[in-house]
Structure formats: structure tokens, C-alpha cells
């Protein structure tokens, strides 16, 4: 029988590395929480139509990368390639925009894109995202960027940069579009590229082929067409970022891979990763909610790539491979099978008091059990034999220093609560 394997190109996390994944994800979420964002938990599959209308047919994500299938009822279903469209669908469907604005939500979970797998690019990957819907304030643009930046700094990341642009409002884009289409019409393009350009001419800025990049060198830039209002908003965002010491680089050629963006758009890029260096990105989306049948509210958000942020942390040497992040307080060993029931009960009582502990299972000799204690990464260990049960005292060993001290078993929890 052939050996079962995970599908090609998916990321998965198991111990011991999973604890670093967990730490990264928690740090990203915590930064959203402390900024007033609340959880929104959404389905991982939606009607295909949502992504076609929400993300845009000119994008690679929709035209090439969706996991789409027919369900048993004959409906076309797609595994979510991103989170923003689903959030908008839910906000509209559940009337969340009738409550206080802006609606501020965070999400975390798996996303799916049928891309060619490579380091840092997976077919199932993980994002932590936030969306703030219903306010045009440039202060919200600042807040969203700051949530990501704060999390990166909290993790200890240093080698990353923030690329920033403004994709303007509808008026800015309309006047730019005329000149851009005029410029593109003079280029010699293959039919597929031309088709994409007709759907969204901005896509050509994103084309990675050197000949297209070169052809686009003299293309008119959206930044030069910003309306007075877009310009003022963008200036305010930059002013707020500078005041908060968040460094950024203006990149007028950045268009982002999804069609819904308007106004402020940004990408965080790690300088320690190879080709797949985008560790997060986002921006404002003025027309998305109305396009999906809701009221005409603007929103802004980001999606951060948990997989890539973990890789960036590792590349920067942030996690010492010998350190355990989620360290147990205590590991308890029964000297012989006779003390196992006592130890089981002791461990259970300690856990009831909130002390993290584990015990040795199986009939291992003391040496094997001590090895298990070592591997568990617990800060302390204690061996319980018949003598210890009789006297009520045992030696609590500090696993780092190797030193032991005599403690009362019934008061063992005090050692940890005091610590
Ligand atoms: P995105 O730029 O397509 O934006 O994805 C955000 C992040 O997800 C990327 O910067 C990257 O770190 C990660 N990512 C994307 N694809 C992959 C992949 N195949 N493998 C590993 N990581 C990946 C969005 O998804 C928007 N929904 C963000 C947003 C929210 N904009 C406004 N609100």
C-alpha cells in the first residue's frame, strides 16, 4: 500500500515548531484585540460568485488559483482564497453596518490558492486579518498599518519594510485609466495580456515578466492623478506614520494582487526571505461593499501571512531552537507503578489550580522518565516514590540549574503560584 502524504504544497505545523507558529499567530491577534477589533469567524467556503465579484476576474487569484467545485446540490463553491470578500458578505447579510461604525473585526484561519508551491508559497496557508468598515478617516488607515507594525515589532522582527501607495478615489482612477489605456494600446501585447489589461489595466504593473516591466517603465502613474481629497488623505496617513516612527517607502508602482483596492494600499516585505517576501498587505476598498449589494461604505484592512512571518522570524534568529515557549511548570514522575495513581491525582489537582504540568506515562525506568521530563521542557521536575508519599515531602528539581529543594507535596502548588 502506498504511503499516505499531505496534498502537494500545503503548510502544516506540528511540535515542536507549532509552538512558534502559535506564538506568531497569537501576537498578531493580540495586536488587533488591543486596538478594539473583535473576532469574526467565517466559513472557509463560499459561493464562487462572491470571489468573482469581490476579488475581481482580472486577478490571478480568481482566474487561475481558486479551488472551485460543485457541491452535492449542484452549487458552485470555492474555498476562500482571501478574507475580505467574506467579511463584507457577512457584514451586509447580518446588518453589522447598522451598529456603531466603524465595524472593526479580526479573523484568523486557513486560505486556499492553487499556486505553484515553493518556499513560503503554499496552497493552503494561514492569515490573520483585520477589517475596519464604515469610516473614511485617514486615522483608520494609520491604525490598520500600526496594528501590523506593532505585532511585527513585538515579535522582534527588524529586517522588514513597509511599501506604501495610494490608488486614489474613483475620480483619480477614472482620469488615470484613460491615459493608461491609451499608453497600453500602443504596446505590442499578446492576447492574454491584452485581455487582462481590458479587465483592469493596472494589472500590467504587477506583471513579473521583464519585457512587460520594461514596457511599463514610462507608463503614467496613478499617484500623479490623485484628486485633491485623495492627496490630502494620503498626506495625513504619511504624517501619522512618521509621527509614530513607522518607517515607509512610497512605491508608486505597487498595485496589489486583488481588484478591490482604492486609496491607501500597503505591503510589508521581509528583507530576509527570498522570492516570497510579502509578509502582509492590505489597503482601502471604497466600492467593494456596494458592489456586493450593501450600502456604500468604505473599508480598510490587511491580511498577514502567518506562515511567512514565522519564516521571517526564523530567518532573523528570533526563536532559539533550544528554548521552549510554552514551557510547562512541572513534570511529575512516579518512581514505580505503585505511585502512579497518587501522581495522576496530584497532577490533576495541580492542573485544577491552573499550574501547567505533565507526568511520565508507561512503565519507564527512572532514567527514561527523566529524559521525558527533559524533553517536555518543564521548568521543574519531581520524583514521587513510596518514601515521598509517606513523609509528605519531595525534592523539587530546577531543570535548568539541576538544584533541588525539599518541598511539601500538599503545598506544591504554592511554589508555582509564588513564582
Ligand atoms: P494578499 O496580499 O493577497 O491580501 O495576502 C496577504 C498575505 O497573505 C500576503 O502578504 C502573504 O503574506 C500571505 N499569502 C498570500 N498568498 C500566500 C500563499 N500562497 N502562501 C503563503 N502565504 C500567502 C489579501 O489576502 C487581502 N484579503 C488582504 C486585505 C484585507 N486587504 C484588505 N483587507
Q: Note the Cα 108 to chain centre separation in Å.
A: 7
The β-bridge partners of 282 are: 266, 302
Closest residue by Cα to residue 156 from 306, 30, 312, 22: 312
Closest residue by Cα to residue 22 from 325, 377, 375, 357: 325
Cell of 410: 500538599
Continuous segment of H or E residues that includes residue 2 = none
Convert 86-103 to b/e letters by CB count within 10 Å (16 or more is b): bbbbbbbeeebbeeeebb
- Determine if the peptide bond prior to 316 is cis (ω within 30°): no
Residue with cell 464604515: 134
Q: Note the Cα 247 to chain centre separation in Å.
A: 21
Please tell me the distance from the alpha carbon of residue 382 to that of residue 20, in angstroms, as a whole number.
27
Which of 82, 108, 167, 283 is the pocket-test mutation for ligand 1 (most atoms within 8 Å of CB)?
A: 82
Please tell me the distance from the alpha carbon of residue 122 to that of residue 130, in angstroms, as a whole number.
21
* Residues in the chain where the model's pLDDT stays below 50: none
Give DSSP secondary structure letters for 342-368.
HHHHHHHHHHHTT--EEE--SS--HHH
Q: What is the pLDDT of residue 6?
A: 96
Q: What is the pLDDT of residue 255?
A: 87
What's the CA-to-centroid distance between 366 and ligand 1, angstroms? 49
Residue with cell 532573523: 316
- Determine if the peptide bond prior to 102 is cis (ω within 30°): yes
In ligand 1, the atom with minimum distance to the C-alpha of 305 is 12
Q: What is the pLDDT of residue 321?
A: 58
Evaluate whether 318 touches 338 at the Cβ level (below 8 Å).
no
Q: Whose CA is nearest to atom 24 of ligand 1?
A: 303
What's the CA-to-centroid distance between 198 and ligand 1, angstroms? 24
Q: Which residues surround ligand 1 with Cβ inside 6 Å?
A: 82-84, 113, 115, 120-122, 125, 127, 129, 131, 257-258, 278-283, 301-303, 305, 307-308
Domains of the chain (ranges plus CATH)?
Answer: 18-169+227-315 (3.30.930.10), 330-417 (3.40.50.800)
Give DSSP secondary structure letters for 398-411.
ETTT--EEEEEGGG
**Helix (H, G, I), strand (E, B), or coil: what is residue 133?**
strand
Please tell me the distance from the alpha carbon of residue 300 to that of residue 289, in angstroms, as a whole number.
11
Q: What is the pLDDT of residue 419?
A: 53
What's the CA-to-centroid distance between 82 and ligand 1, angstroms? 7
Residue with cell 475580505: 84
Evaluate whether 44 touches 51 at the Cβ level (below 8 Å).
no
Give the pLDDT confidence of 209-227 residue by residue, as tens digits.
999 999 999 999 999 999 9
What's the CA-to-centroid distance between 256 and ligand 1, angstroms? 10
pTM, entire model:
0.94
For residue 55, the 8-state DSSP code is H
Please tell me the distance from the alpha carbon of residue 262 to that of residue 255, in angstroms, as a whole number.
10
Closest residue by Cα to residue 364 from 343, 392, 348, 388: 343
Convert 344-372 to b/e letters by CB count within 10 Å (16 or more is b): eebbeebeeeebebbbbeeeeeeeebbeb
Evaluate whether 37 touches 130 at the Cβ level (below 8 Å).
yes
What's the CA-to-centroid distance between 324 and ligand 1, angstroms? 29
369 to 255, 383, 396: CA distances (angstroms): 57, 9, 15
Amino acid at each position: 500500500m502506498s504511503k499516505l502524504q499531505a496534498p502537494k504544497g500545503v503548510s502544516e505545523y506540528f511540535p515542536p515548531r507549532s509552538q512558534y507558529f502559535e506564538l506568531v499567530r497569537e501576537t498578531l491577534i493580540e495586536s488587533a484585540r488591543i486596538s478594539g477589533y473583535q473576532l469574526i469567524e467565517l466559513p472557509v467556503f463560499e459561493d464562487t460568485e462572491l470571489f468573482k465579484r469581490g476579488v475581481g476576474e482580472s486577478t490571478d487569484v480568481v482566474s487561475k488559483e481558486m479551488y472551485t467545485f460543485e457541491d452535492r446540490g449542484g452549487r458552485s463553491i470555492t474555498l476562500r482564497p482571501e478574507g475580505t470578500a467574506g467579511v463584507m458578505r457577512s457584514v451586509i447579510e447580518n446588518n453589522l453596518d447598522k451598529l456603531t461604525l466603524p465595524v472593526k473585526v479580526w479573523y484568523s484561519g486557513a486560505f486556499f490558492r492553487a499556486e505553484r508551491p515553493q518556499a513560503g508559497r503554499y496552497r493552503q496557508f494561514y492569515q490573520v486579518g483585520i477589517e475596519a468598515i464604515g469610516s473614511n478617516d485617514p486615522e483608520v488607515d494609520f491604525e490598520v498599518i500600526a496594528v501590523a507594525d506593532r505585532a511585527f515589532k513585538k515579535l522582534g522582527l527588524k529586517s522588514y519594510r513597509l511599501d506604501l501607495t495610494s490608488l486614489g478615489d474613483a475620480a483619480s482612477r477614472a482620469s488615470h485609466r484613460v491615459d493608461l489605456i491609451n499608453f497600453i494600446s500602443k504596446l505590442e501585447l499578446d492576447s492574454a495580456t491584452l485581455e487582462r489589461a481590458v479587465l483592469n489595466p493596472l494589472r500590467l504593473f504587477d506583471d513579473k515578466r521583464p519585457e512587460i516591466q520594461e514596457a511599463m517603465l514610462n507608463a503614467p502613474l496613478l499617484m500623479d492623478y490623485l484628486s485633491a481629497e485623495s492627496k490630502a488623505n494620503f498626506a495625513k496617513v504619511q504624517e501619522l506614520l512618521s509621527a509614530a516612527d513607522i518607517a515607509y517607502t512610497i512605491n508608486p508602482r505597487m498595485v496589489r494582487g486583488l481588484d478591490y483596492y482604492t486609496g491607501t494600499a500597503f505591503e510589508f516585505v521581509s528583507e530576509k526571505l527570498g522570492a516570497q517576501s510579502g509578509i502582509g498587505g492590505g489597503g482601502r476598498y471604497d466600492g467593494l461593499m456596494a458592489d456586493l449589494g450593501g450600502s456604500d461604505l468604505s473599508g480598510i484592512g490587511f491580511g498577514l501571512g502567518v506562515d511567512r512571518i514565522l519564516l521571517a522570524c526564523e530567518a532573523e534568529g528570533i526563536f532559539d531552537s533550544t528554548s521552549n515557549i510554552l514551557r510547562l511548570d512541572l513534570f511529575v514522575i512516579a518512581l514505580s507503578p505503585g505511585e502512579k495513581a497518587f501522581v495522576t491525582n496530584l497532577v490533576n489537582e495541580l492542573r485544577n489550580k491552573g499550574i501547567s504540568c505533565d507526568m511520565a506515562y508507561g512503565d519507564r525506568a527512572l532514567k527514561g522518565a527523566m529524559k521525558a521530563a527533559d524533553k517536555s521542557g518543564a521548568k521543574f521536575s519531581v520524583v514521587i516514590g513510596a518514601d515521598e508519599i509517606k513523609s509528605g515531602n519531595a525534592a523539587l528539581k530546577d531543570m535548568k540549574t539541576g538544584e533541588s529543594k525539599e518541598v511539601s507535596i500538599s503545598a506544591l502548588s504554592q511554589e508555582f503560584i509564588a513564582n
